[in-house]
Structure 1
Amino acid sequence: MPQPQTRPAPRTVRFGGLDGLRAIAVGLVLCYHLFPPLLPGGFLGVDVFFVMSGFLITSLLLREYELGGRIRLGAFWRRRARRLLPALGLVLLVSTALALPVGGDLLVGIGQQIAGAAFFVSNWVFIANGADYFARDTPELFRNMWSLAIEEQFYIVLPLVVLLLVRLRSRPSRAIPLAALGLASAALMFELSRAGVDPTRIYFGSDSHTFGLLLGAAMAAVLHRPEASEVLNPGPLRQLAAAAAALAGLAVLGWLAATLSEGSPASFQWGFQLATAAALLVVWAVTRPGAWIGRALDAPPLRWVGERSYGIYLWHWPLLLICAGALGPDLEWLVAPLALAATVLAAALSYRFVEQPVRRFGLRRSLRMLVRVGDHTPRRRFVAIGLAAVVAVAAPAAVVAIVTAPQQSSAAEAIARGQEALEHSRAAQQADEGRSGRGERSEGASETGKTENPAPGKGSGGGAKEQSAEPAPLSPDGRDLVAVGDSVMLASLPELEAAYPGISIDAAVSRGMGTGAEIVTGLSSQGSLRGVLVVGLGTNGPVQAEDLDTIRASAGTRPVVLVNAHADRDWIPGVNQLLTDYAAAHRGVVVADWTGSVTGVPDALAGDDIHPNPSGGEIYAGSVQRALEELQSPGEGIGFGLPRR
């Protein structure tokens, strides 16, 4: 077997395979946002970017120190600015202007979002505002800027750290501090998840989601060999090893992208960590000098996409929201393909006429080249006129959008309307109790308490099938109903109270079925449950059958109405199927078909397509009413078990 040929590594070697890997990474993100059922774990593409960025930037800094004996911080940050700011500024300007005619929720907090993106602190701005990255119904126009913020924060600190590390002689000693910081960040993500911290806080946090960048940097420190020779034509065994490693890493990434659930404990406790390890393996394999797999990954189509991946990532999310807002639900099928086409076109134009000139000549020289009319070729004149027209139209439109942006989203307004009604009801109840005297009970309470509706094993027996005689099939009024729900029920509260005066409602934002089970158990122990229990939970996470069992046991012989959920979230179909199956298996439990009633009704829901407007609140109350009527059907025939009036 011929011996591999070696010679000193060229000082300006280009890493193979990274453009192709960038194309794969941005493809994962595009599928996740544009076609979510295809790759539910496609958000891992960002972590592949993190590993590549940490590896590449650290390699460049070490090479600069090797060649010149120093790292020029100003020049490094200037290169980063040239690379990132032109495309970012164009996206912020044009997208804000395009969102103006669409209006509505797209413009909520737009000024704050632009400031966060411009100063590379978007991730912390979204954390402070309580944003939910994994909710497709909260339309922050520049939500995707969070990852750019983390990278830029890393780029500010990294060269300072490298300046300290180059004083250490051995490659392992340089890598160990970076690896230790990366492992600490990965461990922090794990611990925060186990502690039940909000998933968006974990995902957006610079402290808990920097391990890909740090571990990529550590690998660069280990592999950088300034004085050693590199194998330029590795033998067949080395080629096979590199190809096998790359394919294995890509297979793991593909499996995770197809199976990992967004925002799940599994994703934070091992999913992101495993994806980062797989990305490290791929980057190591494809960047080996002379590796065939690196050349294969840099095939022309993949390389074309990879070179424009930064612009594709910046443009795709705001254009997706703008297309969705402009087309509306009737043309929803057209949103994703139109957004994809617009994204590729915008990224290609930005790369050719904005990013590359500024990267090559700098911002000031590029501007001078555009404004010097006498030196213009026809093509340059066309570009200058086009860019001037874009700025002339987009700049004032963006200013108007920022100035006229609504203070809160339509969903927040719907929730606030329900909260105001809830506070008014509580104040009226307290005033009524004050007039009645301490310890007295109202007529409604005296007719529907725990005493007349004993729990299983007490009084009249242990379940709906064991009720004594045939109670009169009375239709309950508000004094017979107690409801526990989430923000959807809260937004529907005025209409529920109008349909059922005197109803007792306990509803709050971001409440899940587990919390609801605890509340129902508490109400039961206090004797505060009324004749019929209405439960409207399931929007904010998966539901466990054990929680439904707890609710039913606490309700005793009382009928239970389970309101199903309506939202564009991965767990909703499973939640609704579980509620339907549970009601079918238990007498005295029925489902109020909220999602079936509201789907496709114009103007019934706020901009998030979850929380009801007043007309949607009437639909919500109507679905509860139909469920109560079903309880009196021959199939159920339980007549609510309410006392005769």
Structure 2
Amino acid sequence: MRIKWFSLVRITGLVLVLTYHFFQKKFTGGFIGVDIFFTFSGFLITALMIDEFARSNQFKLRAFYRRRFYRIVPPLFLAVLLVIPLTFLVSADLRTDIGRQIAAALGFTTNYFEIATGGSYENKFIPHLFVHTWSLAVEMHFYLVWGALAWLLAKISRRFQPNQAFNRFRLMLGGLAAVFALGSFLAMFIGAGDLQEFSPVYFNSLTHSFPFFVGSILGVCSGIRHQLPKFAWLTKHGKPILAISLMSVALIGLVSLGYFMKFDHLLTYRGGLLLATSLAGAMIYGARWLHERTPNTPEPFWMGFLADVSYSVYLFHWPLYVIFSRLMANWAAALLTTILSIALSALSYYVLEPVIAGKAAHVFNYEWRWQQLRLPVVTVGVVLASLTGYSAITAPKLSSLEQNLWISGIYQDVDKVATTRDVVLAATRKKEQKAQAAKNQRPKGVSVIGDSVTLGTREYLGDHVANSSVDAEGNRTMNLAYDVMKTQQDQGILRETVVISVGTNALADYEKQLMKIVNDLEPGHRLILMTPYNAKAAPDWNSSKLAVLERKLPAKYPFITIADWERAAAKHPAIFAGTDGVHFSGRKAGDELYAQVINDAVKAAAKTPTKQK
């Protein structure tokens, strides 16, 4: 029994996700499309479980797992095999550690792989081609656990009288879903409290499974064939306009969340995702209701088609977009990705999946069976599998950017050994230092404290910024830069001019952390603030707001000078072509521009007074 208008729910989820990935600056909350999929899956699976038990007084676990396998695994394998050859069109960086990415995707552990490797859903130096399969991993975990529990509850329910068994099964299934939904949401609510980067609770199957169970509760109450009496009465007697209104309000709410919700906001995890799940549930019920009230109105073909291929489109779109976006303009990459994803998904859904499952595929009034397709499918599969295996074996372990940062880190460690000598010598000159401090005199030169962007160009800076020392580290935030500054101050090695080049990884309390640096910098220093640059950043991102704040400070604090990297970098987009929009991957033009911005600021700072008190 196919429920009309459910297609609108699936299409809504798909459009939200695609729009988020293609236009992340504008549609910052489109990731809730995944929660729509989760909620719908929980509803549909649980409703079908109830229908099966009502029909046969049992739930066949093996058949359930087999259906899930044939629906999920073939498109996933196809996506992996077809995408890998396309990576040879672009930088080898996209194949960095691709073997482990593929293993995680096919093993349905991408979510925990990303957590273990420090992956972020929004920010990666080199985006993982299969990071989007994190949601598939969470979904598979749900199917495995929920299927086994439904089988167990079915066994227990069969011990009751036949007229009681069905109600017992539905009651226990609904109660267990309610417990799991509450537990999962509370785990996310509590777990997000101490985090600045929320991927660990977003990816985690335990904290992000509540949409499935909210959907399951709805499936128990208003399933496919068997609904609770009040729901059944409403769907049979409620006016269609009310169902349409419910769906419309839910859709407007979901689109609004897509525009305004932010991945890096605590409120997203303490109610935002639950609100999106609730709106998805309302839309699902509205579709279920409208189905009953429009028996003579057919669902448009295009709607059913897009719903059918939505899962495979989700699988194909992300790796294709990552590749194409490095070869062409963003709008062209989004368009080509959409067209190719739909075409490949149609091939998968209407031909390959049924044939692999032992069924006949009907395309253009022609019947295709495994016997006819076996030779070409096996041949192409072997070629693609061999190429994928070759790519996994020969893939670099580190991207060029990561190699650059790693090497720079080694040089920095060597320099720190030499710096230790300076600290020891400084300790023997305490009287001289105290005298200098009394006169607000500091060691001459420039101390640069930076993040991964600075680390990537560290060697060049050392040679081209006179009398400088550079301390840089990947993922450094403003509070960590403050710690470095304080340590160097205490050791007496912080130089007269201090450059703080941190901010791309700006946290919510960026203003508080920046002002700690301004206030706790000792007298006798000049401070240069280098504005952060991220080509993908919207005006309301923390890094963008930090740059605005930094530009205002020299008017109040004469000892502060701005090195406006954000504006300088924006004028040279070629430096960031094919990168994450933050790092320039050791390109000489980037090194030269970065050093020039610092040197110009150092010259300007030399004309300003040092901090007096």
Q: Give TM-score scaled by structure 1 length.
A: 0.82
Structure 2 equivalent of residue 553 of structure 1: 519
1:617 to 578, 591, 594: 591
Post-superposition shift, 1:577?
2.7
Classify 1:146/1:190 alpha carbon distance in 2 versus 1 (closer, same or farther; 3 Å).
same
Trace 1:259-274 onto structure 2 (pairs within 5 A). Answer: 259-274=260-275
The superposition leaves residues 427-486 of structure 1 with CA deviations (integer Å, 9 ceiling, x where unpaired) of 12234556x5962479xx9599644428xxxxxxxxxxxxxxxxxxxxx9x942223222
Q: Where does residue 5 of structure 2 map in the other structure?
A: 17
* Secondary structure of the structure 1 residue equivalent to 2:131: coil
Equivalent residue for 1:400, pick from 390, 396, 418:
390
2:453 to 481, 488, 500: 488
Question: Aligned with 1:42: secondary structure?
Answer: coil
Provide closer, same or farther for how the CA distance between residues 449 and 54 of structure 1 changes in structure 2, counting only shifts above 3 A. farther
- One-letter amino acid of the counterpart of residue 25, structure 2: P
Asked if 1 retains the 8 angstrom alpha-carbon contact of 2:563 and 2:600, the reply is yes
Deviations 1:567-594, CA, capped at 9 Å, x for gaps:
2244243333332233455433222132
C-alpha distance in structure 1 between counterparts of 2:288 and 2:151, whole Å: 24
1:243 Cα deviation from its structure 2 partner: 2.9
Q: Distance in 2 between matches of 1:120 and 1:596?
A: 42
Q: Which moved more, 1:493-502 or 1:257-266?
A: 493-502
Q: What are the residue-to-residue correspondences of 1:154-193 with 2, within 5 Å?
A: 154-166=142-154, 167=156, 169-170=167-168, 171-193=170-192
| Cα 1:199–1:609 shift into 2, 3 Å | same
Asked if 1:39 corresponds to 2:38, the answer is: no
- Tell me what 1:102 maps to: 90
Corresponding residue of 2:562 = 591
Return closer, same or farther for 1:614/1:639 CA change in 2, 3 Å cut-off. farther
Aligned partner letter, 1:45: G
Determine if contact 2:30/2:259 at 8 Å carries over to the other structure.
yes
Higher alpha-carbon deviation: 56-65 or 314-323: 56-65
2: CA distance, partners of 1:395 / 1:339: 22
Question: Counterpart of 1:349?
Answer: 347
Conserved? CA contact 1:560–1:588, under 8 Å: yes
Work out the CA distance in 2 between the residues paired with 1:362 and 1:186: 43
The question of whether the paired residues in 1 share the 8 Å contact of 2:423 and 2:491 is answered with: no
CA distance in 2, matches of 1:295, 1:515: 65
1:419 aligns with 2:420: no
1:134 maps to 122
Deviations 1:221-279 (A, max 9, x none): 233575977459733x4434433332222222111111001232121111111111111
Give SS of 1:611's match: coil
Please tell me whether Structure 1 or Structure 2 has the larger radius of gyration of its CA atoms. 1
Tell me the alpha carbon deviations over residues 320-376 of structure 1, each in whole angstroms, 9 at most, x when there is no partner: 01112334xxx445222222222222222222321243356199xxxx97564xxx5
Larger CA deviation: 151-160 vs 221-230: 221-230
Structure 1 residue aligned with 2:215: 216
Whether the aligned pair in 1 keeps the contact of 2:75 and 2:348 (CA below 8 Å) is yes
Alignment of 1:426-465 (within 5 A): 426-431=416-421, 436=425, 439-440=428-429, 450-453=437-440
Distance in structure 1 (CA, Å) of the matches to 2:406 and 2:377? 43
Partner of 1:320, secondary structure, is helix
Give the deviation of 1:521 after TM superposition.
4.9
> Per-residue deviation at 1:414?
2.2
The alpha-carbon distance between structure 1 residues 279 and 604, as it changes in their structure 2 partners (threshold 3 A), is closer
* Distance (whole Å) between structure 2 residues aligned to residue 289 and residue 598 of structure 1: 53
Amino acid at match of 1:414: N
Q: 1:252 to 1:136 in 2, by over 3 A?
A: farther
Q: Aligned partners of 2:3, 2:426: CA distance in 1, in Å? A: 81
Describe the shift of the 1:437–1:484 C-alpha distance in structure 2 as closer, same or farther (beyond 3 A). Answer: closer
Q: Which amino acid aligns with 1:308?
A: V
Q: CA deviation at 1:604?
A: 6.8
* Larger displacement relative to structure 2 (282-291 or 314-323): 282-291
CA displacement at 1:128 relative to structure 2: 1.1
Q: Would the alpha carbon gap of residues 448 and 355 (structure 1) be closer, same or farther in structure 2, given more than 3 Å must change?
A: farther
Q: How many residues of Structure 1 are paired with residues of Structure 2 in the alignment?
A: 584
Q: Relative to structure 1, is the Cα distance of residues 513 and 116 closer, same or farther in structure 2, using a 3 angstrom cutoff? A: same
2:433–2:492 contact (8 Å) kept in structure 1: no
Partners in 2 of 1:552 and 1:534 — Cα distance?
A: 12
Rounded to whole Å, the distance in 2 between the matches of 1:430 and 1:93 is: 52
Question: How has the CA–CA distance of structure 1 residues 614 and 23 changed in structure 2, closer, same or farther, with 3 Å as cutoff?
Answer: closer
Shift of 1:146: 0.5
- Which amino acid is the alignment partner of residue 210 of structure 1? S
Matches within 5 A, 1:558-569: 558-567=525-534, 568-569=536-537
Taking the aligned partners of 1:245 and 1:289, their CA distance within structure 2 comes to 10
1:501 Cα deviation (Å)? 5.7
- Measure how far apart 1:610 and its partner are: 2.3
In structure 1, distance between residues paired with 2:94 and 2:435: 46
* Structure 1 Cα separation of the partners of residues 189 and 581 of structure 2: 32
CA positional deviation for 1:127: 1.1
Contact 1:480–1:531 (CA under 8 A) maintained in structure 2: yes
2:471 equivalent in structure 1: 506
**Are residues 602 and 37 of structure 1, via their aligned partners in 2, closer, same or farther at CA, if it must alter by over 3 Å?**
closer
* More off after superposition, 42-51 vs 150-159: 150-159
Q: Quick check: 2:197–2:264 contact (8 Å CA) kept in 1?
A: no
Q: Secondary structure at the match of 2:326?
A: helix
Distance 2:54 2:174 in 1: 16
Distance in 1, Cα, partners of 2:290 & 2:338:
35
Q: Which amino acid aligns with 1:453?
A: N
> Which residue number corresponds to residue 286 of structure 2?
285
Cα-Cα RMSD: 3.3
Deviations 1:285-342 (A, max 9, x none): 2113744589989543332211110111000001001112334xxx445222222222
TM-superposition CA deviations, 1:113-155 (whole Å, max 9, x none) = 1111111111111111111111164310111111011101111
Say if 1:306 and 1:126 are closer, same or farther in 2 by CA, change over 3 A: same
The 3-state SS of whatever aligns with 1:326 is coil
User: What is the aligned-residue identity percentage?
Assistant: 26
Q: Is the 8 A contact 1:243 1:293 kept in 2?
A: no
* One-letter amino acid of the counterpart of residue 304, structure 1: F
Contact 1:48 1:276 in 2 (8 A): yes
Measured after TM superposition, the shift of residue 537 of structure 1 is 1.0
Q: Which amino acid aligns with 2:222?
A: L
Equivalent pair of 2:559/2:611 in contact (CA under 8 Å): no
Letter in 1 for 2:45: I
> Who is 1:206 aligned against?
205
- Describe the shift of the 1:591–1:341 C-alpha distance in structure 2 as closer, same or farther (beyond 3 A): farther
**Could you list the runs of 5+ residues in structure 2 that have no partner in the other structure?**
158-166, 362-366
Distance 2:360 2:113 in 1: 30
Distance 2:261 2:62 in 1: 41
The DSSP-based 3-state class of the residue aligned with 1:281 is helix
Say if 1:232 and 1:586 are closer, same or farther in 2 by CA, change over 3 A: closer
Residues 1:537 and 1:397: Cα distance change in structure 2 (over 3 Å): same
Q: How far does residue 207 in structure 1 lie from its aligned partner after superposition?
A: 0.8
1:287 match: secondary structure: helix
| Alignment check: 8 A CA contact 2:198 2:264 kept | yes
